[in-house]
Amino acid sequence: MATPDLDLLFAGSIPELYDSHLVPLIFAPYADDLARRVAALEPSRVLETAAGTGVVTRAMARALPPSVEIVATDLNPPMLARAAEVGVARPVQWQAADAQQLPFDDASFDAVVCQFGVMFFPDKAGAFAEARRVLRPGGTLLFNAWDRIEENDFAHVVTTALSVCFPADPPRFLARTPHGYFDKRAITRDLASAGFGTPPRIATVAGRSRAASPSVPAIAYCQGTPLRSEIEARSGRSLAEATSMSASAVARRFGTGAVDGKIQAHIVAVQR
């Protein structure tokens, strides 16, 4: 049962669990890395697309001078509401917007930044073309995307555990969407199709994902992402049972105490 529409559904309790569990588990280290890369560009106005609950927004607010204007957007109002609730220490413009149809003038930003959002864009080349449109000449599109799921331990273990929970119809959200856009050739091709004339610079960066117990990554993935909707759409196991089986699988692989697994992503920069 492929459910691509549900891949974009970040609502209900998902934003809170996403922010409390998934952000510290896998997003925070890459957010700081991306913010440092943005700061090195010395921009005066930055647009963030697919901002989610604001982990990169907060990192940029710390890393960039107060004079830099930050506009943070996301397609999902519940995610932006969570971001605004958590807040930042400086003014940020929060705005609901589709990265494939940006409501901004041409050549109005020095940098467009997106952390782990491009995988969710149905029309990736179209979204990249929109980013290029709003970039000033010489501006930079900077984004990251997860490497293949086999290079990301907890996501891989949870996906494998769910294939045991639902053998007739395994939930494949994690492999299909967050970890489905790892081919550097495809990324380069989509950027070229969007009108970027120079090849992107792509760095593959490994890190560590740490949690206090095996239940943290299980809850993070099973209940704090659209994987939840896939699980709830299936019969035979409840969400609680699927989460528990995922936690047990993490414990078998990494131990019953604090757990530590590999994460890996591509960091992509391309100049207009």
Cα–Cα distance, 110 to 67 (Å, whole number): 13
- pTM for the whole structure: 0.92
Instruction: Write the pLDDT tens digit of every residue in 17-57.
Output: 878 888 889 999 899 999 999 999 999 999 999 999 899 99
Domain that includes residue 179, residue range: 4-271
Predicted confidence (pLDDT) per residue in 219-235, tens digit: 999 998 989 999 999 99
Residue 169: which CATH number? 3.40.50.150
Q: Which of 1-5, 178-182, 236-240 is least confident?
A: 1-5
Q: Into how many domains does the chain fold?
A: 1
pLDDT in tens, 197-221: 999 999 999 999 999 999 999 999 9
Cβ atoms of 151 and 38 closer than 8 Å: no
What are the tokens at 241? 């049972």
Picking from 87, 40, 47, 42, the residue whose alpha carbon sits closest to that of residue 67 is 42
> Predicted confidence band at 86 (pLDDT cuts at 50, 70, 90)?
confident
All residues at 6 or more sequence positions from 43 whose CB lies less than 8 Å from its CB, including other chains: 64, 68, 109, 110, 111, 139
